[in-house]
């Protein structure tokens, strides 16, 4: 079994890669987290060995990172999701409809696995569930 610290460091590097892919400015994240840019970079370097943030930094990271990225720090199957305060019900409704439409298409006899869910359909549905919970 891999060392928990190694797993955490890999997750921190993956978060940095996702931030870069999404074009999320690191300085903005550091500002939202109320930490210095150099501290933020030590946690999420482009390469090398990241410093593992202390548990006390979790609230700051929750303010700075999208929930799906923050969830990469948790074991598989666990996700960090915000509470319902300030929810946009129209956006949530659209997400629910998108899930239902995709699920109905996935159960069509001529879909990837017929009436069963195929791997691509399951991945698509999983993504929609994560977005709904985020």
Q: What is the pLDDT of residues 58-99, one digit of tens each?
A: 999 999 999 889 999 999 888 887 788 888 899 999 999 999
User: Has residue 123 been placed in a domain?
Assistant: yes
Identify whether residues 60 and 121 lie together within a single domain: no
- Asked if 52 contacts 5 with a C-beta cutoff of 8 angstroms, the reply is yes
Identify whether residues 69 and 124 lie together within a single domain: no
Distance CA 52, CA 35 (A): 14
Per-residue pLDDT band at 39 (split at 50, 70, 90): very high
Identify whether residues 17 and 50 lie together within a single domain: yes
Burial class, 68, CB count within 10 angstroms (exposed 0-12 / middle 13-18 / buried 19+): middle
- Give the global pTM: 0.68
Give the mean pLDDT of 41-67. 95
Residue 79's pLDDT is what? 84
- Domain housing 111: 89-133
Identify whether residues 68 and 98 lie together within a single domain: no
Query: pLDDT over 70 for what percent of the chain?
Result: 99
Identify whether residues 27 and 65 lie together within a single domain: yes
How many domains does the structure of the chain reveal? Answer: 2
Q: In this model, does residue 1 exceed pLDDT 80? A: no
User: Has residue 83 been placed in a domain?
Assistant: no
User: Could you tell me which of 22, 19, 57, 26 has the C-alpha nearest to residue 40?
Assistant: 26
Identify whether residues 110 and 61 lie together within a single domain: no
Distance CA 9, CA 12 (A): 5
Residue 56's pLDDT is what? 96
Identify whether residues 60 and 94 lie together within a single domain: no
Per-residue pLDDT band at 129 (split at 50, 70, 90): confident
């Amino acid at each position: 079994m891999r060392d928990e610290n190694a797993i955490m460091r890999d997750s921190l590097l993956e978060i940095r890669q996702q931030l870069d892919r999404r074009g999320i400015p690191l300085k903005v994240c550091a500002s939202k987290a109320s930490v210095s840019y150099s501290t933020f970079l030590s946690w999420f370097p482009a390469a090398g060995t990241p410093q593992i943030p202390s548990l006390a930094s979790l609230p700051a990271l929750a303010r700075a990172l999208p929930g799906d990225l923050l969830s990469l720090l948790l074991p598989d199957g666990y996700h960090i999701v915000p509470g319902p305060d300030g929810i946009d019900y129209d956006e949530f409704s659209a997400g629910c409809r998108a899930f239902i439409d995709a699920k109905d298409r996935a159960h069509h006899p001529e879909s990837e696995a017929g009436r069963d869910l195929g791997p691509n359909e399951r991945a698509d549905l999983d993504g929609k569930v994560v977005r709904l919970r985020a």
